[in-house]
Structure 1
């Protein structure tokens, strides 16, 4: 019995150490490695991270190199084997991940059974307290892992069903400048895309189109699905038929395009630029633009969080921070997220004049237009209070599934605000688009909801000033009930529903000017802070009870009588 308990306990210890390695090293690689787009490379790195965590714990437990090597092979081998049919297109990424983890756990158990004495021997005295601590932390750690992975995966998860919605084509006017805004099949940042789009389209003087390498529905941040206006090929055909060309191409942050798609995007951008288009990036769209080579030797900017990685990966670019955008003639790069509004206003200035740009800024109620020059912005970095994002991602007890009602005529920035603010910028939870069918936004984009009703959501929010006036959605929280920039009421809602620190994180990561929104509410995410402590106490209670139960059984076991000969 004792040997079996040691064996099972040892297995659980290694599983905990394995996941600890995955999360700790995964966070480190996100900081120091370039953005990885290949599924196979990401999978092998993940498996290696888990192996390192497990191997380190085995070494601490004084196992020899032979069993450590066997266990490492047991963890890596399933993924290596499954990637071979993946490379030939036989297996999907989901199958590789699911079967790989299942095979890993089975082979780990097999490796332990081969050397069962190795894993049932008496451990050093300090191992019990260490194992006890691991057991106490297992519950909050497991909840954190499930919650964090779920929230991040949901940000750009493709819809489960297949939709055949078509865009509503707008009449093309060759007398107007034409701007193409690029998207990726794996996802596109909702605000990076829709912010510039609304600024440009609201002028009434620009042909603004959303274009994509393929014709499938595009998942934007938070699960908002957009039907692109044109594929690259269709856009090129339109320009040829109209004897026209793109005056500018806008590149928002794209969510890890597959290598083939990335190649198609960068080559298409280069062709448009060679034909005379201004190339403009927003936020981490600078990574895609840098991959074209068009930024080499030029000054450029991006989101403060992305700049360290960009400086490491694209050393030929003169990266700078502290400004809304950098205009280098035929290339413009905007800083993070809402800086795309100013980048688009700069395009309007270039096409027309500052008065037209001022009118466009007023149309979207952006109070920070800086005529003719890029405004200075704070130079941010990660600080200790930013741990609030980790707490929210891991243990937020407030509403974490937020329904967003899609209504016809909603402004593009009004629509972007909840989908990005509750998810990517604060990691509070996940958003679900709700509606009875495809809708047209204020300036003609087609969006497709994922759910027909609000069943199963924790709360329902309704973006859009027009929707607030109509008040046709029972039980919904109307966000845009007063004049102002589209993000103001969403940030205010975060302070009321959650806390001020979380709203401050949204402002910081959106690169929204500080002081624009009055923040009133709880100062800190105390609920998300207390939940892991409560889970740890629960884990402590369960562990203590388990230890007492084992000791009681040992004490009540009948003593063996001596055998007489």
Structure 2
């Protein structure tokens, strides 16, 4: 064979080895990252506390007649905590309104950030006339919005709309609405990083970027996570009057909100500064554990801020939720399921109690739990300033005990204004960054392995007797 063909074969073999090595390296890195994201999501939407299925739960409060009725829908498989809790608090702040949670079944249901909720009622109770038809239905982001498991919920929402209810789709709750067909031919918005895929998946919807909320008839959709607060305030103004909306909105102090303010917001896009979001989600190993202590009467937004800030959006820590007993009832009557303070620490490194300003508001059982486990009860809300929204103290605490970049990324992925935040702490999430570097090294090693094996075999052949 002439030198030309031999040289060509060598080039082809070398190219094949390079492609094989590159493919192995890429597959190895992708596999490590996929395993990390899976672990992060499993922690965020954790299984119900042990023994939950066997417990007798408190009876749901009756729904009073003569008020504007709001049903906050919840998925039994998992919902975003703030999408549920923030609108719930906004509507429940008004004495003109009655608010309840509803799901396919009345069983413990996961919320992001390691939390769990006990729905008040079932879809069948509403459909069967046991409860009054809601005037408003709140639809949060759920874990599988287009899946068969949410078909009952999608049909139920469409039927409520047919009967005259207003629909408020919060964050990626708009995908569940789009999958139901309810958004066909309408303008809508959603969480900023989802809109591209929504445009491809649901082309009959006129998707809008850079809007805090979009109203089209009796359907309102909002931007991500905390935007549900603003969308709910809008509906309060329409149903209960602008004065009531102004009263509630002023008390909650969402940054920049005014009753007649513009709906335009910055149209977010992925940027290099968002890397901590991916790093924390894809490389969760060795991260600390934050125990979130809840007291009866905690405000819903304060609880949501802790769930998202320490775990659900930031992925900065593993979270577990502790209460004096099996349940905690929030200020407006929502039932959250907790790990009782009789249990151990579950590896907790910190213990934070959101919404409590000083030690006098700390439940004695939680204080005892902290002492037994060598932890101090930390109160992020103790540093809450007048005129601040509930997310501010948690984001400051996240920056101080984690890093500033993660706190800012958490605000961005919650579509929460951050220009006013004064943050201190490390500049970057070095734990997850070093783990990512280690994953790169392992992946490169995997990619080089075939070449190393080939060279080893060739050396042994050359060293064999008789060669």
TM-score w.r.t. the length of structure 2 is 0.82
Aligned alpha-carbon RMSD (Å): 3.4
Residues 44-80 of structure 1 show CA distances to partners (whole Å, capped at 9, x for unaligned) of xxxxxxxxxxxxxxxxxxxxxxxxxxxxxxxxxxxxx
Post-superposition shift, 1:191? Answer: 0.4
Give the structure with the higher percent helix: 1
1:309 pairs, out of 197, 205, 208, with: 197
**1:128–1:411 CA distance, 2 compared to 1 (3 A):** same
> Unpaired runs of 5+ in structure 2?
1-11, 371-375
The equivalent residue for 2:213 is: 325
Q: Aligned to 1:506, what secondary structure does the other structure show?
A: helix
Post-superposition shift, 1:252? Answer: 0.8
The equivalent residue for 1:193 is: 84
**1:177–1:398 CA distance, 2 compared to 1 (3 A):** same
The equivalent residue for 1:478 is: 379
The equivalent residue for 1:505 is: 409
- The aligned runs of 1:82-97 (5 Å cut-off) are none
The equivalent residue for 1:71 is: none
Please give the alpha-carbon distance, in whole angstroms, between the structure 1 residues aligned to 2:24 and 2:201: 40
**1:466–1:166 CA distance, 2 compared to 1 (3 A):** farther
1:157 pairs, out of 46, 50, 54, with: 46
- The aligned runs of 1:72-83 (5 Å cut-off) are none
- The aligned runs of 1:44-443 (5 Å cut-off) are 144-159=33-48, 161-163=50-52, 164-237=55-128, 240=129, 244-256=132-144, 259-372=147-260, 374-395=262-283, 399-435=287-323, 436-443=325-332
The equivalent residue for 1:530 is: 434
Q: Aligned to 1:480, what secondary structure does the other structure show?
A: helix
Alignment check: 8 A CA contact 2:94 2:248 kept? yes
Post-superposition shift, 1:253? Answer: 0.7
Q: Aligned to 2:178, what secondary structure does the other structure show?
A: helix
- The aligned runs of 1:463-474 (5 Å cut-off) are 463-465=354-356, 469-471=360-362, 472=364, 473=367, 474=370
Please give the alpha-carbon distance, in whole angstroms, between the structure 1 residues aligned to 2:253 and 2:359: 17
Residues 203-247 of structure 1 show CA distances to partners (whole Å, capped at 9, x for unaligned) of 22210010011122111112211000100122345xx467x4311
Please give the alpha-carbon distance, in whole angstroms, between the structure 1 residues aligned to 2:463 and 2:151: 73
**Greater shift in the superposed pair: 206-215 or 515-524:** 515-524
Alignment check: 8 A CA contact 2:71 2:100 kept? yes
Residues 485-508 of structure 1 show CA distances to partners (whole Å, capped at 9, x for unaligned) of 111111112211222211111111
**Greater shift in the superposed pair: 448-457 or 482-491:** 448-457
Q: Which has the higher contact order (CA 8 A, sep 6+)?
A: 2
Please give the alpha-carbon distance, in whole angstroms, between the structure 1 residues aligned to 2:169 and 2:101: 14
Please give the alpha-carbon distance, in whole angstroms, between the structure 1 residues aligned to 2:399 and 2:57: 38
TM-score w.r.t. the length of structure 1 is 0.69
Residues 413-459 of structure 1 show CA distances to partners (whole Å, capped at 9, x for unaligned) of 11111212233422223311123321111111111124633231232
Q: Aligned to 1:316, what secondary structure does the other structure show?
A: coil
Please give the alpha-carbon distance, in whole angstroms, between the structure 1 residues aligned to 2:331 and 2:111: 17
Residues 304-332 of structure 1 show CA distances to partners (whole Å, capped at 9, x for unaligned) of 11111221222222211212111223111
The equivalent residue for 1:67 is: none
1:447 pairs, out of 323, 336, 351, with: 336
Q: Aligned to 1:403, what secondary structure does the other structure show?
A: strand
Post-superposition shift, 1:294? Answer: 2.5
Please give the alpha-carbon distance, in whole angstroms, between the structure 2 residues aligned to 1:313 and 1:331: 20
Q: Aligned to 1:502, what secondary structure does the other structure show?
A: helix
Alignment check: 8 A CA contact 1:168 1:444 kept? no
**1:476–1:262 CA distance, 2 compared to 1 (3 A):** same
Q: Aligned to 1:380, what secondary structure does the other structure show?
A: coil
Aligned length: 435
Please give the alpha-carbon distance, in whole angstroms, between the structure 2 residues aligned to 1:536 and 1:346: 47
Please give the alpha-carbon distance, in whole angstroms, between the structure 2 residues aligned to 1:262 and 1:271: 14
- The aligned runs of 1:543-554 (5 Å cut-off) are none
